[in-house]
Structure 1
Amino acid sequence: MTDKPIADYAVIGDTCTTALIARDGSLDWLCWPRHDGPAVFLALLDRERGGTCRLALDGLTGVTRRYLPGTNILETTFVTATGRAVLTDFMPLHPHEAVPEEGPDGHAQGRVVRRLACIAGRVSGHWFLRPTFDYARAPTEAVAASETQLRFHGGGDAIRAACAVPLTLREGAAEGGFALTSGARADLVIAHGAKHHGAESEDDAAGEGLTAEVDASLAATRAYWEAWSDRCTYEGPYRESVLRSALTLKLLTHGPSGGIVAAATAGLPEAVPGNRNYDYRYVWMRDASFTVTAFVNLGYDREAAEFLRFLREADTSRGRDLHLMYALKGPVPQEETLDHLRGWRGVAPVRIGNAAADQDQYDIYGEFLVALHGYLEAVDYDPPVKVNDHLPEALGHLTNHILRARHAPDHGLWEMRTEKRQSLHTKAMLWVGLDRAVQIARADPKHRLADAATIATWERAAAEIRDEYHTRGWNPSRGAYTMAYGSDDLDAAVLRAALFDAFDPHDPRVAATLERVGAELGAGDLVYRYRIDDGLEGDEATFTACAFWRVGCLALAGRNAEAAALFERLLARGNDLGLFAEEIDAQTGEQRGNLPQGFTHMAVINHAVRLAAARDGQTRTDEPDCRADAETVPA
């Protein structure tokens, strides 16, 4: 059985976890009860050993799919030799009567609903359901509660299934055949846990009861997502792409904690062949901060406040330090390999946990201060009390960390598992952090975040850091700013530093660097992060966010038409639903790495906003005060 292309997958979710569903209707990835929980469906990484929930239709001739507008509800239309059927996949997320000040803004039901309806002629086929617990390391036991209801147990976990047609058990798997005429249904509901804990229960539902429950849950979930989408303030020319990226980022949030994970999956390779397979289901400080910026750019201030809640509750040191990476609950697990899994297209090892949690990456202080500055501006420096009460202490601790780290080597943005270096991008982001801290302190209407002497200290240190990286980061023999002090290696991260004003895009040396990066790291419209030996196997694909950073640099340089044309070509690189993984293979155009990747989708949002600002004759940085709405974007 051939592994499907990564671009074949769509994502659904309930802001607790996500599921990946292929174009053919196969549910091949789902971790419960959280994004970083153990997978119960993982055919994505091993089609023989990994669990799946598969739909097989007889005489299939064609497939089309879409998301229902403004939602994360997936609708797949199957055409067969005898009729048509529509499969509607969603994870129920019902609106609250009143959204609380903090906490989840919707009620997740802990279920996957698969609504299958024949809409023309007649269709026949079968459901196949086989969960595998604890990444397929635990044996699966199955029990039939009735002919349409099953229980699966393994590894201390359990799921339940209810179907509109009878299910037959066989060796830990279930199969249910159907023959439908127009208007008939064969719905399937999969729920987490041995017992139902939500407001509704499929336990006693069958036939018309299950149909009614599915329809009611679909209506409620659609209402939640449409209301959420209506809050998006962007009304520019790329609204569909921007909103899809925003909806995808929302799926990567975790409502109970406020955390934001980097991607929905683990183990999808960045190089084929190679061993660059990592687990991205954790909260990277950098990625989450950049996602906060994207959210605030679109008017989603509550999501930003929720991430601040996550940090407040996750940080037992009361703001004295930021971790590079967090788990949604407890410590980040130690990295381990799942040697029993063959990996996508046989590219092993499959890793869970992430050893990068132990790295030093000091740019995260600048990343977070950018996000904090943007959020405070968006709420006119009047955040919720629980945020406001910690601001003076937090600002002081963050800037003190920058001052202590300014001369220290680190592992850098790309998390290479090599020795530490004096990374140019890190130094630039330390300057950015101090610059934003000064702006926050000066803008505070009560003037209580820092006194004049402290602000002067920050300004002086910022100037010294900027002078240093401009001097030591420039490599005359390469005619470019390079990856680290004294290095000959080019690094696309300089594009990103320019977006935060750490470099002047009109400076001849910066322009020369951008040209050199394009010449040596570019692959047409795409861009590699770097082209050096990093100690890993295989040649990784191009890094998609880097290509979007080039769009921003072109816009900053006033090359707006060129920037917009490149942006539109890059958007066309996503899959048919507008989803992006982390990387794109320059030779084949295939998606590579974990999917969907937040870092890519936040770049889509922020650069659509940047282009809107450029069309309006404004020069702005990657910050939330550059929100675009109908009044600021010319017709």
Structure 2
Amino acid sequence: MTDRPIEDYAVIGDTCTTALVARDGSIDWLCWPCHDSPAVFLRLLDGDRGGFCDLVLDSLRETQRRYRPGTTILETTFVTATGRVTLTDFMPLHPLAAVPDEGPDGDPRGRIVRLVSCEAGAVAGRFRVRPTFDYARDGASLEAQDDGTVLCRRLGEAEGVRVAASVPLAVAGDRVEAAFRLRAGEGASLVLAHREDDDGDVENAAASLTATETYWEEWSGRCTYDGPHRDSVLRSALVLKLLTHAPSGGIIAAATTSLPEAVPGTRNFDYRYVWMRDASFTVTAFVNLGYVREAAEFLRFLRDADGTRGRDLKLMYGINGRVPAEEILDHLRGWRGVSPVRIGNAASGQHQYDIYGEFLVALHAFLDAVDYDPPVKVNDHLAEVLGHLTDHVIRCRHEPDHGIWELRGGTRQILHTKGMLWVALDRAVQIAEAVPVASPERVEEWRRIAAEIRAEYHETGWNSQVGAYTQAYGSDDLDAAVLRTVLFGAFDPRSPRVAATLAAVSAGLGDGDLIYRYRNADGFAHPEATFSACAFWRVGCLALAGRTHEAEPLFARLLARGNDLGLFAEEIDARSGEQRGNVPQGFTHMAIINHAVRLDRAARHAQARTDEPCRWAAGA
């Protein structure tokens, strides 16, 4: 089969895991029961070996789709030669009678529900379910049950998927099929259940849809952003919520592994883990929209995952433990034949010191949102956490590292890292000024060292020959990550040197509205596509510089780069306009939220006609 474009995929989920649904109704990606569990469906990465749950309709002519407003419930309408049907896909997530102070705010049922409703004429078709367990490394046995369901078991294991339907099921080789013939007003349902003891509850599928819609509508209703880009912002917020893992409080970077950043190329990585950086970005985005509980839940995750209270902060974490060692699945050919397919991530052992700044930005934003009256479990150890993090900053301020882009070569004195070390101490000072978590002498030390770091990267990071702040000390290479440091206040957005750097990055790394992260050699044979978040960072820098007449139309054009549902992968191929990399990508959707907020504040600032400096902690 021909691999579907990455932008063809929609995402559904239940805050435990997600599934990707193609435009033609095929579920081609599902890891169960968690985001980083082995894949059960992975036709996304191998059209021949990978499992799926698809929908085959006779004489299909036309397809349209949408999310129900304010939800993650996907509706796809198919027009055939004889009629019209709507397929409704969701993963049940029911409201709780009372939301606890900590822990999941909904009740995930561990199911996928697919409802087909005939809207006009008559339609014939069938569902096909083919599970391939453990990334298609294990086979499956398909066992018809007395209750009419089919239990698909991983060979030699208790793990399985139960298939239930409102129409008869049949086992056909390595798949289960559910055929239907519907007239206007009639419907059929298919339920996939992860737990062996779950019978699928087909009879109550419609009631589960209502409950799930209620959960998402109530959650969306708490969004505080009411600016001109509300639809895009809310969709991005829903994506970020789907990338959370409610049982642990963790936030993963993306739903998939090994979707390539370049074609051809080998830049295929596993993003189904909790990156300190990406999760901290997401926390800031949540806070900017009024979702303070989600921010608190991530702090819960860290409290449980990192028992050292910041003394041994990791670059990334697995949802339920350490990130597994990187492994290549060479039996899978990869999306469009672009290999390797990787699970695990070798970058987990890198030194990336900017994470201290990333986390302190998120912590500061959370504390500010709760008026510095955090939950007891945060407040009790705040002084200790702050002390450990600032100790890290002071200890590593002169050390080289691998940096935000996780370059797999040697370490360098990377400018973005230095800027984020200043940000870390700046936010620590702001926290300590609001609550008594450090002595005046300690706070003064942070302030003094922050000033030294800032003076150093302003002087050493500037390359007069290039006419810009560059990627690393002594480097001639441009780096879009420098723009992020402007967003956090590490540079004055109105300074001539920042303006020159923005112009240099736009010219040297830009391709129209799109931006590459960098263009220097990084050990990979093929260049990558443009990095979507970088283009949004340019929007933020323009807004902070008072150039909103440029920032607003650029932001609108970038939003139009998403797929028909407003979803973004990690990157965009500048030539074809196709999405590249893992999808949906939290990094990109976080940038959409934060820059919509930043633009809204810029407009309000301009309307107020004030000459005060614009320093908005809207995140990156």
**Residues 378 and 624 of structure 1 are in contact (CA less than 8 Å); yes or no, is this contact kept in structure 2?**
no
**Residues 296 and 624 of structure 1 are in contact (CA less than 8 Å); yes or no, is this contact kept in structure 2?**
no
Question: Which residue does the alignment assign to 1:82?
Answer: 82
Structure 1 residues 624 and 490: CA distance shift in structure 2, 3 A: closer
Question: Which residue does the alignment assign to 1:34?
Answer: 34
User: Does 1:490 find its partner at 2:481?
Assistant: no
* Distance in 1 (alpha carbons) for counterparts of 2:601 and 2:104: 32
* Distance in 2 (alpha carbons) for counterparts of 1:299 and 1:120: 42
Question: Which residue does the alignment assign to 1:589?
Answer: 577
- The residue matched to 1:286 in structure 2 has which SS? helix
Of 234, 237, 242, which aligns to 1:246?
A: 237
Structure 1 residues 621 and 132: CA distance shift in structure 2, 3 A: farther
Of 280, 288, 301, which aligns to 1:289?
A: 280
RMSD: 1.2
**Residues 610 and 620 of structure 1 are in contact (CA less than 8 Å); yes or no, is this contact kept in structure 2?**
no
Question: Which residue does the alignment assign to 2:144?
Answer: 144
Q: Deviations over 1:237-266 (max 9, x none)?
A: 000000000000000000000000000000
Moved more, 243-252 or 116-125: 116-125
Question: Which residue does the alignment assign to 1:553?
Answer: 541
Question: Which residue does the alignment assign to 1:126?
Answer: 126
Shift of 1:170: 2.2
Equivalent residues in 2 for 1:194-273, closer than 5 Å: 194-196=196-198, 201-202=199-200, 210=202, 212-273=203-264
* Distance in 1 (alpha carbons) for counterparts of 2:19 and 2:32: 10
Equivalent residues in 2 for 1:379-418, closer than 5 Å: 379-418=370-409
Q: Deviations over 1:275-302 (max 9, x none)?
A: 0000000000000001000000000000
- The residue matched to 1:266 in structure 2 has which SS? coil
**Residues 148 and 165 of structure 1 are in contact (CA less than 8 Å); yes or no, is this contact kept in structure 2?**
no
Shift of 1:537: 2.5
Question: Which residue does the alignment assign to 2:308?
Answer: 317
Structure 1 residues 85 and 492: CA distance shift in structure 2, 3 A: same
* Distance in 1 (alpha carbons) for counterparts of 2:282 and 2:148: 42
* Distance in 2 (alpha carbons) for counterparts of 1:251 and 1:625: 20
Shift of 1:219: 0.5
Of 348, 355, 361, which aligns to 2:346?
A: 355
**Residues 276 and 537 of structure 1 are in contact (CA less than 8 Å); yes or no, is this contact kept in structure 2?**
no
User: Does 1:332 find its partner at 2:323?
Assistant: yes
Of 402, 410, 415, which aligns to 1:419?
A: 410
* Distance in 1 (alpha carbons) for counterparts of 2:135 and 2:39: 5
**Count of aligned pairs between the two proteins:** 612
* Distance in 2 (alpha carbons) for counterparts of 1:330 and 1:378: 29
Question: Which residue does the alignment assign to 1:452?
Answer: 440
Question: Which residue does the alignment assign to 1:631?
Answer: none
Question: Which residue does the alignment assign to 2:170?
Answer: 168
**Residues 551 and 567 of structure 1 are in contact (CA less than 8 Å); yes or no, is this contact kept in structure 2?**
yes
Shift of 1:168: 1.4
Shift of 1:147: 7.6
Of 191, 194, 203, which aligns to 2:193?
A: 191
Shift of 1:53: 0.3
Question: Which residue does the alignment assign to 1:633?
Answer: none
User: Does 1:477 find its partner at 2:465?
Assistant: yes
Shift of 1:166: 1.3
Question: Which residue does the alignment assign to 2:54?
Answer: 54
AA at the equivalent of 2:527: D
* Distance in 2 (alpha carbons) for counterparts of 1:115 and 1:146: 23
- The residue matched to 2:400 in structure 1 has which SS? coil
Question: Which residue does the alignment assign to 1:632?
Answer: none
**Residues 357 and 420 of structure 2 are in contact (CA less than 8 Å); yes or no, is this contact kept in structure 1?**
yes
Moved more, 465-474 or 141-150: 141-150
Structure 1 residues 188 and 621: CA distance shift in structure 2, 3 A: farther
- The residue matched to 1:268 in structure 2 has which SS? coil
- The residue matched to 1:295 in structure 2 has which SS? helix
* Distance in 1 (alpha carbons) for counterparts of 2:37 and 2:213: 26
Shift of 1:511: 1.0
Question: Which residue does the alignment assign to 2:610?
Answer: none
User: Does 1:598 find its partner at 2:592?
Assistant: no
* Distance in 2 (alpha carbons) for counterparts of 1:537 and 1:237: 42
- The gaps in structure 1 that reach 5 residues or longer are 627-635
Question: Which residue does the alignment assign to 2:617?
Answer: 623
Structure 1 residues 547 and 622: CA distance shift in structure 2, 3 A: farther
AA at the equivalent of 1:480: A
Q: Deviations over 1:608-632 (max 9, x none)?
A: 0000000001655562599xxxxxx
**Residues 595 and 618 of structure 2 are in contact (CA less than 8 Å); yes or no, is this contact kept in structure 1?**
no
Shift of 1:322: 1.1
User: Does 1:540 find its partner at 2:528?
Assistant: yes
**Residues 397 and 453 of structure 2 are in contact (CA less than 8 Å); yes or no, is this contact kept in structure 1?**
yes
* Distance in 2 (alpha carbons) for counterparts of 1:503 and 1:165: 63
Q: Deviations over 1:465-491 (max 9, x none)?
A: 000001111111111111001111100
* Distance in 1 (alpha carbons) for counterparts of 2:146 and 2:518: 57
* Distance in 2 (alpha carbons) for counterparts of 1:329 and 1:394: 22
Structure 1 residues 329 and 622: CA distance shift in structure 2, 3 A: farther
**Residues 147 and 167 of structure 1 are in contact (CA less than 8 Å); yes or no, is this contact kept in structure 2?**
no
Structure 1 residues 151 and 510: CA distance shift in structure 2, 3 A: same
- The residue matched to 1:278 in structure 2 has which SS? coil
Post-superposition, which runs of at least 4 consecutive aligned residues in structure 1 deviate over 3 A?
Answer: 618-622
- The gaps in structure 2 that reach 5 residues or longer are 607-612
Shift of 1:304: 0.2
**Residues 309 and 388 of structure 2 are in contact (CA less than 8 Å); yes or no, is this contact kept in structure 1?**
no
**Residues 606 and 622 of structure 1 are in contact (CA less than 8 Å); yes or no, is this contact kept in structure 2?**
no
Equivalent residues in 2 for 1:509-588, closer than 5 Å: 509-588=497-576
- The residue matched to 2:290 in structure 1 has which SS? coil
Structure 1 residues 147 and 452: CA distance shift in structure 2, 3 A: closer
AA at the equivalent of 1:529: R
- Determine what percentage of the aligned residue pairs are the same residue: 67
Question: Which residue does the alignment assign to 1:629?
Answer: none
Question: Which residue does the alignment assign to 2:609?
Answer: none
**Residues 148 and 164 of structure 1 are in contact (CA less than 8 Å); yes or no, is this contact kept in structure 2?**
no
